[in-house]
Amino acid sequence: MRQTHSFVSIGGLTREDILSLIAEAAEAERQPNRTLLQGRIVATLFFEPSTRTRLSFETAANRLGAKVIGFSDPKVSSTTKGETLNDTIRMVSNYADVIVMRHHLEGAALYAAEISDKPVINAGDGAHEHPTQTMLDLYSIHKTQGGLDGLDLCLVGDLKYGRTVHSLIQAMRHFNPRFHFVAPKELAMPDEYKQQLQAWGIPYVEHTDLTPEVISQCDILYMTRVQRERFQDLAEYEKVKDLYVLRAAMLGGARENMKILHPLPRVNEIAVDVDDTPHAYYFRQAENGLYMREAIICDTLGIPLH
Ligand code: NCD
């Protein structure tokens, strides 16, 4: 267990860090209610909308005995009066022991971590990263596949703006994966990430169609929502929003162990008839977020669960 530290980017984690957090999450799942954080204050500052991320962080804090302060809508904070992020963070870091923050600007979490003398946890910074989502994705993959090594992952949808897939490929680099990317040209995986994969020697194949053949080749099918809020031109969004809809009828040739993940919220990407198939795992995945976020809060404060 490291000293108190921020959790801003997935890139800085080693294979051992990742496996150790997964073990801590399993421990949290075994016993979610504890008093480890009694007397501590967790601040949740959400400058962008959220359901699962904020609620699971707040539930995690409450289940560990901490108290929670914060806002879920920046309109009710002094941001609307023109207060800078710098000033908000300085002040909140005097109130709370750890700050969980989601912000629309890429790099906002790193910036906040530099200002704050308390740990900052990145709950999403623009289209950049979402490292705690990735940790719960990895926990879900580990639980369903019995490990993380040597898996075939197919990432589908908005690979350009989707921050969850950007963090996921970086974390998986330690585990010898093979990737399929399914996206329209407009939403393809950005070159910077593809170049990183090449430098790491990790194979990937790009597709524009989600076919049963691609589905039959993967252990994890990771669906994503087209990130409407990141488009400058909504006419462009309309063109791509419904390109991929996964239906139960497309799963006939899937591997038995194949699980479908989605960070949620889903819009149209997964038809409800998929929910009752043995491949659907997205609601359990969201539940896993609670345990992983208990592990992450404790980790940033240097408090072991084991
Ligand atoms: C994701 C996000 O905010 O990036 N949601 C989440 O945290 N579970 C995915 C999304 O909004 O599409």
Which ranges constitute the DSSP H helices of the chain?
Answer: 15-30, 52-63, 85-95, 108-115, 131-145, 163-172, 191-200, 212-215, 234-240, 282-300
Structure tokens at 149: 């090594």
- Residues 159, 115, single domain; the answer is no
The confidence score (pLDDT) of residue 6 equals 98
- Residues 211, 197, single domain; the answer is yes
Q: Note whether residue 5 is domain-resident.
A: no
Q: Measuring from atom 8 of ligand 1, which residue has the nearest CA?
A: 263
127/166 Cα distance (integer angstroms): 8
Output the average pLDDT for the chain.
96
Q: How many domains are contained in the chain?
A: 2
pLDDT bin (cut points 50, 70, 90) of residue 76 is: confident
Q: How many angstroms separate the alpha carbon of residue 117 from the centre of ligand 1?
A: 27
- Residues 102, 220, single domain; the answer is no
The confidence score (pLDDT) of residue 79 equals 87
| pLDDT reading at 47 higher than 60 | yes
- Residues 99, 179, single domain; the answer is no
186/158 Cα distance (integer angstroms): 9
Give Cα 12 to chain centroid, integer Å. 15
Is pTM, for the whole model, over 0.95?
Answer: yes
Catalytic residue among 63, 103, 128, 130: 130
Range of 99's domain? 15-130+289-300
Q: Note whether residue 7 is domain-resident.
A: no
The domain that holds 100 is classified in CATH as: 3.40.50.1370
- Residues 242, 229, single domain; the answer is yes
Ligand 1 pocket, residue 130 CB under 6 Å: yes
- Residues 230, 100, single domain; the answer is no
Q: Note whether residue 202 is domain-resident.
A: yes
- Residues 141, 49, single domain; the answer is no
Active site residue 166: no
Q: Note whether residue 244 is domain-resident.
A: yes
Catalytic residue among 52, 63, 142, 225: 52
- Residues 250, 112, single domain; the answer is no
In 3-state terms the chain splits into helix, strand, coil percentages (rounded to 5) of 45, 15, 40
Structure tokens at 217: 């080749």
Report yes or no: 177 and 202 within 8 Å, Cβ to Cβ.
yes
Residue corresponding to tokens 């597709």 = 207
Active site residue 102: yes
Q: Note whether residue 1 is domain-resident.
A: no
| pLDDT reading at 260 higher than 80 | yes
Ligand 1 pocket, residue 53 CB under 6 Å: yes
pLDDT bin (cut points 50, 70, 90) of residue 1 is: low
For 110-150, the pLDDT digits (tens) are 999 999 999 999 999 999 999 999 999 999 999 999 999 99
For 190-238, the pLDDT digits (tens) are 999 999 999 999 999 999 999 999 999 999 999 999 999 999 999 999 9
164/222 Cα distance (integer angstroms): 10
- Residues 70, 180, single domain; the answer is no
291/284 Cα distance (integer angstroms): 11
87/205 Cα distance (integer angstroms): 45
